[in-house]
Structure 1
Amino acid sequence: MTARLRSRSLRTRLLLFITAVLVCVCAAMALTTVFAQRAYLLGNLDDRVSDAAERGVGGAALHPGLTRDLTFLNETGQPAGLLAARLDARGNIISAAVVGHDAPPRTLTTAQTTALKGLEPDGSTHTRAVPGLGTYRVTAIDASGIRVLAGLPMDDVLDTISGLVEIEAGVAAVGLTAAGCVCAVVIRRQLRPLGRVAATAVEVSHAPLGRGQVTGLTRVPERDTDPGSEAGQVGAALNRMIDHVEASLAERQHSEEQVRRSEERMRRFLADASHELRTPLASIAGYAELMNRGTDRIEPGLAWRRVNAESARMRSLVEDLLLLARLDEGRPLQSAEVDMAALVAEAVWDARAAGAGHVWQLDLDLDAPALVLGDEARLHQVVANLLANARVHTPAGTTVTAAVRATPTTCVIRVRDDGPGIPPGLLPTVFERFTRADTSRTRAGVLEGGSGLGLAIASAIMAAHGGRIDVQSAPGRTEFTLELPVTELPATETAIGARTAPV
């Protein structure tokens, strides 16, 4: 029974529980009323029976010698149905009669007299069923040897109690029916928010979350999230849970997307690295094969020069790949105080020596010493890569400017040129590995084209130093920006003035 009740809906269980409570309350009130009314009516009846017995004793005392005398029943005012009897010393009934309606007292039959036997004349009241007369409330008293039994019918009391029970049952039935209907309506209305919350939960449970569906999940309406009610608290909690689920799924989807992109980049990286390594290896193998076939096919000096060039190219590529691998693993770099102004000046001098056909300028604007904490060799490699890109990928006569700006908190280095610029479609991936701009910029030569790792290495080195690198490009202006945190210096240090000069 309990299991079946638990399987029902909350609305049904509440209705059944409230109905059961109302039935118990109504039953308790009805029983209390019936028992109180019965006690009251029986008390009044017992008083009347005692009065009747006392009047009978008084009437019998007028003729003490007549032990069978019941003439007191003929007195005026005796109620109809009054039963009286005379008892001997043993308590046996000597004579008994009952008062009729507008008729003289009638003597009781033997069966009726037998029903009244066994009463002690102690004044206590008893209930006896008298054949042919009904149920009576009787008592027997003894006054100076005169023993009289008196009784009154209980029909009025029983009828009153029965009527009261019927009335209370009818009122209770009507009241319970009305209360049940009202409770059903109230419960239904009060549980509607909870039903909407449950419907939302069911709808969310049917969403294809396993396939990565992270948007458009149904929410509990705002009207059902009032924290002042239990249903509102459940609705608000469900909305928060749905938010957490969406956030978790979005984060998982983002992580999976990053993993996929990382795998794609890794596959592309391996393919590009294999291609870059295969090219010099193929060249070396080709020249070695020619040398094996004899010196009449190729000049030995030329072959060895080509082998050395391809070996250097392959060694440079392997070193770049190893550097990227170390930076990806987060290995610490050397850390020392580096003067970026002097470093950039040296890099510009080196670039001028390698590219005499370009115009090289150095622009220093130092409000504070341009001192950063980092690996001087790697930072020099970054600046040198940017200057080499500007030299290799722009035509002769291009002006390349390296500018250094230093403030008390940051050091900003900008390398800009007035060359043809980077194509817009290539700009978003310019810092990815093996990205080349050969289709848009004039390469100085096949050997100087690079492997497409320079800017990727520069980005990784800047990230390892806690800095950043950015690029903006348009026809006639390409500018790379490096930003590094400077080393904190005492306040007594003086700023270096700004100057711009060709190198």
Structure 2
Amino acid sequence: MPVAASARTRRPARWRDPAGWSLRTRIVTIMIALLAVLGLVVGGTAELYLYTSLHKTIDNELRDMSNRVRYPSGGKGPSPNKTTHFGNGKPPGGSLKDSVIMTVETDGSVTGGIVRFPASGSDDNKFDDLSDAAKTAMKDEVVPDGEAADVDLGGELSEYRVMAKTQSDGRIQYIGISLKNVNSTLLQVAAFTGCVIAGSLLIAGWGGALIVRRTLQPLDRVAATATRVSELKLDAGEVRLAQRVPEADTDPRTEVGQVGAALNRMLDHVGNALEARHASETQVRQFVADASHELRTPLAAIRGYAELSRRSRQVVPDEIAHMLTRVESEAKRMTALVEDLLLLARLDAGRPLAQDPVDLTMLAVDAISDAHAAGPGHYWQLDLPDEPVSVIGDGARLHQVLANLLANARTHTPEGSTVTVKVGSVPNAAVIQVIDDGPGIPPDLVARIFERFARGDSSRSRAAGSTGLGLSIVHAVVTSHRGKVGVQSQPGRTVFTVMLPVGPPPIVPIAEQQPQMLHPVA
């Protein structure tokens, strides 16, 4: 549940940050944004043009109506038969329904109002009174003999286009036409334009995503090639880097083709470097194997002559005897080093191991017995399961793995330390753990503890010499058995975990992740 919660909290942040978007998403988003801006510009321009055109039409109607109201007989001068000051209380001829005609007399009185047609169908028009707020709004917002202005008369009248003219006798005549139809038309056009723009963006987004997806397919193939290369094991052994970007995706005339061609050139260089590295490693392994093999004979001769000289019946001075003893001791140490190097060279060369049933529980019993004899100052414990744990492998080499781990614990912990060997099993793997309560391994050494000649002299006590190859042999042997080995260490507790497959397929968990997977020591 916490993982799901954290994922839910991270996802919105990722979508809010364009840096985490894919290239496909960015291109489609930018395209839609540009189309949206273009649509808004075109729609806004059309709406503004329509607004201006409709208002010009209204202004022309206002002028015509003003002329008809002032000169109802034909618009060319005052008519002797019609009044223009609405003394009879009725709108003049030529008035539009729901229009506003208001005259401010010279004495400040107001006549006129809203033009209404009677319900009976008579030709006679009538006025409805304007509110005081509407009269005040027209007086305040419309300049006489100036441009027409939009005035909100309030209530159900809403917005009007009003023009004011000063008559020859000093009266001011206000004439207005409702903008209800104009505003309705503008709103309908804006809504229709918005719907068209939204629909166009949806179609453009869908089509753009499809086009971008197809366009970026060569880039996907390049990425797939790089992914396959990244999954190859390149750190050791012979590597055949056969993965390449298809020829169709290496056209230098296109950006993706340039990337594909550059990746192919890089893979060629990397492949050549790996081949050179493998050839060099092969030469070094062959040299180590040959040198180790050739050194075994003279070392055996040195040890033999040293031992023979000590058994001579002639009296040997004490100083010479001590020197011969040291020669024999160092010869033994050098022989062990040569044997270790020869074993590592053979394992690196892929020398096949024996494939026999091996009882790990009996292997642990024998190894503990040997360790007890070699280090009587330590406390040696066994923690075995009720049933035997067996694997298929090389018994001699697996015994050497356990012996090296116990020797490592004996060498790098002080006397009186407790060393425990646990044997157990987990799904698909058999487990051996060697646990000690010594001072632990320095953190900077843990990452390279299984490298050759790795030592931690500064922090762990050393009762005897060490070649620094013991744990390297452990790693090499376990790896040759398709297993895994790991270590976790802190002051007072160091755990080496060996995991070996019990059968095909070799699905073995990571050794460092489960140091406490076995039952605890009683």
Structure-2-length-normalised TM-score: 0.48
Task: Say which structure, 1 or 2, has more relative contact order (CA 8 Å, 6+ apart).
Answer: 1
Structure with bigger gyration radius: 1
Structure-1-length-normalised TM-score: 0.50
